[in-house]
Structure 1
Amino acid sequence: MTEKPPNQYINRELSWLQFNARVLQEASDDSVPLLERLRFIGIFSNNLDEFFKVRYAAIKRIDLAGKDGKNVLKGRTASELLEQITEIVIKQQSESLKIIETIREKLKQHNIFIIDEKEVTIKQDSFIREYFINKVSPALVTYILNDLDKFPHLKDSVAYLAVKLVLKDKIPKEGKISKILQQKTKEKIYALIEIPKLSDRFVALPEEDGKQFIIILDDLIRYCMQINFSIFDYISASAHMIKITRDAQLDFDNDFSKSFIEKISSSVKSRRDGEPVRFVYDKTMDKDTLSFLMDKMGIDNTDSIIPGGRYHNRRDYMNFPDLNKKELVYQPLIPLTIPGLSLQGSLLNKIAKKDFLQYTPYHTFSYTVKFLRESAIDPKVKTIKITIYRLARISHIASSLINAAKNGKKVTVQIELQARFDEAANIKYAEQMQREGVNLIFGVPGLKVHCKACVIEREEKGKLKRYGFISTGNFNESTAKIYTDYTLFTTNEAILKETNKVFKFFQINYKVSRYKHLLISPHYTRSFLLKLINNEIKNSKVGIAAGIKLKLNSISDYDMIDKLYEASSAGVKIDLIVRGICCLVPGIPEISENIRVISVVDKFLEHPRLYIFKNAGTPKVYISSADWMTRNLDRRVEISCPIYDEDIKEELMDTFDICWSDNVKARSLSKDRDNAYIRNDKVKVRSQIATYDYYLRKLGN
């Protein structure tokens, strides 16, 4: 196809910010329970932190290298994009502050009061002081900046209170502090207080007359300023929050004597010293305090300076306490069992008879754990091979694999040590499994292993029979409660034989196998997807009904987008459900007018990848670990698994259609880029609740 002008694509970073705006929409939605709205503020803030650490930092590196980046950034220079991002983020931050204030006012109607240091009552005073002295003060780190020749190294994403003390006229004449103060200033002391990472950022105070009071740890510290700075004779104190976000790029050294685990561990530690990419400060801070800090830190106005609100690290709102107010949180959906697959008795014996689909969190994740626990103690099971990307903090998956190794099974684990922000946890488990005799593989040079698969071999009647599962999500008990993901349990020999080839590739990287069933990145996924799209184009041109339905986290690969544009121009109807980044622009006349895109943001995080090709009435359906991003297609090991069981194929298409019919939580990703909610006269469908009800009906409830 001929090259298209940039306005036929949405810049990846701007599209991501558009996604985070959808998260912010949930925080502002009056139909969302109040405490859940606060948690969406936390998700919005956490997302933004990671965005600056990774994506913003990458663009800044392009800019600092003196490159304009137009080829990569589709028509914008790096400096232009950085400026545009900063402008959008400032607006979003301002909006988030207004939303928080609205929520706080509404909480008062439920007798929940989030107070600051100026609202503390006499009754609360003694509790707060005792709490500060016993729990907070021992963990507090305070820097007196006037004393320091070198500004302290600020930790990434840790909040600090920038304090200004205005002294009384008379300054004590003893001590190092007063001498330095006399040399530099006779009026002010500047200090930094590092907000400690305690278990409770939101401190519940004793109830009064049926009212529940919460004070944020930052304000509790502000209230106890006099205790913390009791050695100084000051007439006033002010404290405003600041935060630095640092580049999260991992840099590896060339010391060949180090193991891969050592290199990753060292690189994770070095991340703490990454270049600052964002400086956020309380916009009400006194100008002299801000100037003092910027001067000492070597920050100028060309840096990413974001004026913010009184509180930073709002990601902590994700863990805001329930306060026993069931009406202010989502009602729990109890995970269901899979029809015909009881958790009692042997799971392997049931899977031997037919394939089963687990769709968490609608289904319980216990099936995945039980599969491995049973395999660990089954004398007939000889080998277990599994890929691991992100593990839970307390992982039953890891303990099952260790259990299997202790029972003499040959256990092989491909563990991805470079899973962003989970490196430390994966290193811990890697070292533990290695000690217990598990055979570890640390990926393929130059490729991140992102596929989710497991194969076991079981001796039956003198032969080895394979059992396994392939998933769209991580084998993580914690995220399985909030991420929607498909997992196929199967004994299909064609699928598992090819999955076994992937594990051989991990060990012998130069040998690339051929596959008839699985789509494997980086070798075959792109080319086979193009063939599938071409087949739909061919069918459309000869008058055969053609269509493509995709459910993805992100689509940003421009070649794949161009191919979908070509299919649209040929009359192929294309429906996309994209949670996050979408660089494709639907609805452009003669280019993408046959493409529709929606995004669903709700209680659960939409995480599965599902590909459906109409194929002249005999649909081809795949579940996959791969988004349609260049990294997933060309720089990662991914598995897309065909679905051959007709009942499961129908189930997957049903769940896609349920999500597509959402007119409560779905937004239209149109060329207007306004995140408009989809509203129509049809029966209200909130797809996540409707999906749960769909599986309830399957159980006959």
Structure 2
Amino acid sequence: MPKNIPLINREISWLSFNDRVLQEAADKTVPLVERIRFLAIFSSNLDEFYRVRVATLSRLSNLNTKSKEIFGYNPRKTLNQIKTIVVRQERKFNHLYEDDIVKELERQKIFIINEKQMNVSRGQFVREYFRNKVLSTLVPVMIDKDAPFPQLKDRAIYFFVKMTKNKNKEKHKFALIEIPTDGSNRFIVLPETNNLKFITLIDDIVRYCLDDIFFIFDYDSIEAYSIQLTRDAELDLDRHVSEKFIDALSKSLQKRGKGKPMRLLYDTDMPLDMLTHLVAELDLSADGLIPGNRYHNFKDFISFPNVRGPELEFPKIAPLPVSNLSSVTSLFAQIAKRDFLINLPYQSFDYIIHFLREAAIDPKVKEINITLYRLAENSRVIHALINAAKNGKKVNCLLELKARFDEQANIYWTNRLEDEGIEVNYGMLDYKVHSKICLVGRMEKGKMVYYANLATGNFNEKTASLYCDHSLFTSNPLITKELVKLFDGLQKKVFYRGFQNLIVSPLESRQKIYDLIDAEIKIAKSGTPAYIILKMNSLTDEDMVSKLYDANNAGVKINLIIRGMCCLVPGVQGYSENIEAISIVDRFLEHARVWIFGNKGDEKVFLSSADLMARNLDHRVEVGFPILDPAVKSEIRDIIDIQLKDNSKAREINQLNNNRYKKNKLKTENRAQIDTYTYLKYKK
């Protein structure tokens, strides 16, 4: 591991990324309902951060006093830094919601009203709604000081309730109520008046009707404050279980809801005595106590209803056709002649579905091999594979059961596939299979010919409409022959070396990327201009950062486009003065991984499923693949150039972590996602 090189702590860098999401919520040029959705994304991101990264840091901080010596940083100090940043971000979040977005909604004649703002008619509507649809779902739990405190579910919303007899303030009762929320059902649109729109939350309906719940008790006042507990979501799997792995994983998933408490988000209006009681019962550390507003699980606001009009949301965009690729004639016949690139979400994921459906019914197709990581809820990919099996094709499916937070869904799909007679490979016990590859074998003129789809994103039609990814169709034997070898290894659960064109983790990616960087270093030292352009989600591997610093010092010009975490520090004299880094956060999630190496003008271009993180390089099965078709290579280069010119949604990554927008050095305004759509729309 490199010593004494400039690095940004990965957790702090991640929080900086989430702050960029918050910037989108603050951007008044973003449609109003979309701003609310960015708040929801920020909140959802932070939940996962606490469930995974903060949970891991907490474990490390409890190991021993030598944790800094072992890990290169002090986990306890990092936890304190996280607490400071998160509290600041939560204040910004609350200000944005309460003082900006709510007021803007009111200017649009949309009112989010709470239990104290009900008039007689709306109050009657709410009480009837509560009694008919909500009351029967509630299970109040009375808190007995002589009994154990109730087990709180991970990320569920609860009301902590206090009933007081005013004549004797020492005489009070505590209770807990879990609030039933599942996204869209959290919002209730009330009858409008004079074109005024009214929305309330299920939370406030429960608050309004507390008397209907606790009517049997003698009290003079009743108050309820929302809380949300986030637990450690990392899975502890016994590597030596004798049971079938899928059963072991299912049992481990059941433990996730009972993990160690990591964060208590609480309503800042909660009285101190109630908060003190909670903290004592939950055994929380100070850095896990986060003040918030009255509404938790803000991720549900991703489904906030647009009750006014389409101008409050991003305009719909129609997926573009891929130039010269017809979906009404055989895709195999077209791919046999040249490679094709699908640029998601600008172009339709339906091309991938058509590819699988054609394979399912084509008499010449004999086998389909595919790796699956995250799937849509009602996956058309799975349906196509089942159809292929019913048509007598041999379907080999590697479905990664350890895809975090998708484990349960993937267990379900595994059972569905196996019920249809499809051979399902659960992956490697110690390695996640994160590659996104599909290989179809077709008998042509007495020999097997292979057609492939390789991608930077999942075979998931839902995320394909939200994530920016690249998906390549090819029949080039330089790639397909190596995919045959790769799938053979996956079936046998062994790792092969010696790929000439593919860049495969965990055995070869690191060294092959080093070799590509070293080639640019050699070019720069010879006096010829050398450059590297890397686009990815995260750059956190310290050895890779050190190698890029070496390239910088040799005179290699480096441009980075990194959406999320970036531990490399650009602009440091003697390390990174030739390195520029930007992050683009906009309507769609930038998810593609693209590597470009100058190579004396004959550029080498690769797409990959891997970020430059230790886990992707050394502990996962990842596939990087070269772009060999000149037209496709040119198209990718054009799109990257568009992103490098972005001066609307691109932020600088720098030492200050201040997310400063990239300065507009041009007279024109360039917004990469809009410009990419326009480029593809008019491209011949």
TM superposition score category, shorter chain reference: over 0.9
The counterpart of 1:20, out of the listed 10, 18, 21, is 18
Deviations, residues 274-309 of structure 1 (Å, cap 9, x unaligned):
11111111121011211222233334x545111221
Superposed displacement of residue 201, structure 1: 1.0
The counterpart of 2:94, out of the listed 92, 97, 100, is 97
Superposed displacement of residue 437, structure 1: 0.7
SS at match of 2:561: strand
The counterpart of 2:77, out of the listed 77, 80, 84, is 80
2:62 is aligned with 1:64? yes
The residue type paired with residue 565 of structure 1 is: Y
2:198 is aligned with 1:216? no
The counterpart of 1:671, out of the listed 655, 671, 681, is 655
Q: Is the 8 A contact 1:67 1:78 kept in 2?
A: no
Q: Distance in 2 between matches of 1:257 and 1:11?
A: 39
Match of 1:347 in 2: 331
2:256 is aligned with 1:271? yes
What does residue range 98-117 of structure 1 map to in structure 2 within 5 Å? 98-101=95-98, 102-117=100-115
SS at match of 1:434: helix
The counterpart of 1:576, out of the listed 533, 545, 560, is 560
Which has the larger displacement, 612-621 or 119-128? 119-128
Q: Distance in 2 between matches of 1:321 and 1:351?
A: 43
SS at match of 1:359: strand
Q: Is the 8 A contact 1:68 1:78 kept in 2?
A: no
Q: Distance in 1 between matches of 2:308 and 2:442?
A: 48
SS at match of 2:34: helix
Q: Distance in 2 between matches of 1:294 and 1:60?
A: 17
What does residue range 478-489 of structure 1 map to in structure 2 within 5 Å? 478-489=462-473
Superposed displacement of residue 664, structure 1: 0.4
SS at match of 2:634: helix
Match of 1:180 in 2: none
The residue type paired with residue 134 of structure 2 is: V
Stretches of structure 2 lacking an aligned partner (at least 5 in a row) = none
2:421 is aligned with 1:422? no
Q: Distance in 1 between matches of 2:582 and 2:408?
A: 35
2:304 is aligned with 1:304? no
Superposed displacement of residue 445, structure 1: 2.9
The residue type paired with residue 293 of structure 1 is: L
Q: Is the 8 A contact 1:412 1:438 kept in 2?
A: yes
The counterpart of 1:232, out of the listed 209, 217, 232, is 217
Q: Distance in 2 between matches of 1:91 and 1:630?
A: 30
Deviations, residues 103-153 of structure 1 (Å, cap 9, x unaligned):
000111111111111111112112111111122112212111137711111
Match of 2:481 in 1: 497
Q: Distance in 1 between matches of 2:606 and 2:268?
A: 50
2:614 is aligned with 1:630? yes
SS at match of 1:82: helix
Match of 2:596 in 1: 612
Which has the larger displacement, 350-359 or 383-392? 350-359
Q: Distance in 1 between matches of 2:283 and 2:498?
A: 55
The residue type paired with residue 9 of structure 2 is: N
Match of 2:147 in 1: 149
The residue type paired with residue 296 of structure 1 is: E
Deviations, residues 669-694 of structure 1 (Å, cap 9, x unaligned):
01222100012141101100000000
SS at match of 2:489: helix
Q: Distance in 1 between matches of 2:66 and 2:470?
A: 41
Relative to structure 1, the CA distance from residue 85 to residue 493 in structure 2 (aligned partners, 3 Å threshold; closer, same or farther) is same
Deviations, residues 258-282 of structure 1 (Å, cap 9, x unaligned):
2111111111111111111111111
SS at match of 2:631: helix
Superposed displacement of residue 511, structure 1: 5.2
The counterpart of 2:628, out of the listed 644, 666, 669, is 644
Match of 1:654 in 2: 638
Superposed displacement of residue 257, structure 1: 4.1
Match of 1:48 in 2: 46
The residue type paired with residue 405 of structure 1 is: A
Match of 2:421 in 1: 437
Deviations, residues 486-531 of structure 1 (Å, cap 9, x unaligned):
0000111110111121111112234524111000001111111111
2:231 is aligned with 1:252? no
Q: Is the 8 A contact 1:167 1:189 kept in 2?
A: no
Superposed displacement of residue 82, structure 1: 0.7
Relative to structure 1, the CA distance from residue 303 to residue 548 in structure 2 (aligned partners, 3 Å threshold; closer, same or farther) is closer
What does residue range 267-666 of structure 1 map to in structure 2 within 5 Å? 267-299=252-284, 301-302=285-286, 304-510=288-494, 512-666=496-650
Deviations, residues 14-67 of structure 1 (Å, cap 9, x unaligned):
000010010011011111111111100000000000000111100100111225
What does residue range 129-144 of structure 1 map to in structure 2 within 5 Å? 129-144=127-142
SS at match of 1:588: coil
Q: Is the 8 A contact 1:521 1:633 kept in 2?
A: yes
Q: Is the 8 A contact 1:240 1:282 kept in 2?
A: yes
Q: Is the 8 A contact 1:68 1:79 kept in 2?
A: no
The residue type paired with residue 5 of structure 1 is: N
Count of residue pairs the alignment pairs up:
681
Deviations, residues 165-195 of structure 1 (Å, cap 9, x unaligned):
113669xxxxxxxxxxxxxx97211111101
Q: Distance in 2 between matches of 1:10 and 1:448?
A: 26
Q: Return the TM-score normalized by structure 1.
A: 0.95
Q: Return the TM-score normalized by structure 2.
A: 0.97
The residue type paired with residue 199 of structure 2 is: I
The residue type paired with residue 527 of structure 1 is: Q
Deviations, residues 520-571 of structure 1 (Å, cap 9, x unaligned):
0011111111111111011111111210001010000011111110111111
Q: Is the 8 A contact 2:427 2:493 kept in 1?
A: no
Q: Is the 8 A contact 1:169 1:186 kept in 2?
A: no
Q: Distance in 1 between matches of 2:217 and 2:63?
A: 47
Q: Is the 8 A contact 2:466 2:588 kept in 1?
A: yes
Match of 1:5 in 2: 4
SS at match of 2:612: coil
Q: Is the 8 A contact 2:261 2:282 kept in 1?
A: no
The residue type paired with residue 23 of structure 2 is: Q
Q: Distance in 2 between matches of 1:291 and 1:346?
A: 67
Q: Distance in 2 between matches of 1:409 and 1:331?
A: 42
Q: Is the 8 A contact 2:241 2:248 kept in 1?
A: no
Q: Is the 8 A contact 2:2 2:543 kept in 1?
A: no
Q: Distance in 1 between matches of 2:635 and 2:599?
A: 18
Which has the larger displacement, 612-621 or 202-211? 202-211
Q: Distance in 1 between matches of 2:65 and 2:259?
A: 21
Superposed displacement of residue 333, structure 1: 1.4
The residue type paired with residue 338 of structure 1 is: V
Q: Distance in 2 between matches of 1:505 and 1:287?
A: 60
SS at match of 1:593: coil
Q: Is the 8 A contact 2:79 2:287 kept in 1?
A: no
Relative to structure 1, the CA distance from residue 566 to residue 161 in structure 2 (aligned partners, 3 Å threshold; closer, same or farther) is same
Q: Distance in 2 between matches of 1:511 and 1:333?
A: 42
Match of 1:127 in 2: 125
Superposed displacement of residue 73, structure 1: 5.2
Superposed displacement of residue 336, structure 1: 0.8
Q: Distance in 1 between matches of 2:559 and 2:520?
A: 13
Which has the larger displacement, 312-321 or 90-99? 312-321
Superposed displacement of residue 197, structure 1: 2.5
The residue type paired with residue 540 of structure 2 is: S
Q: Distance in 1 between matches of 2:69 and 2:328?
A: 57
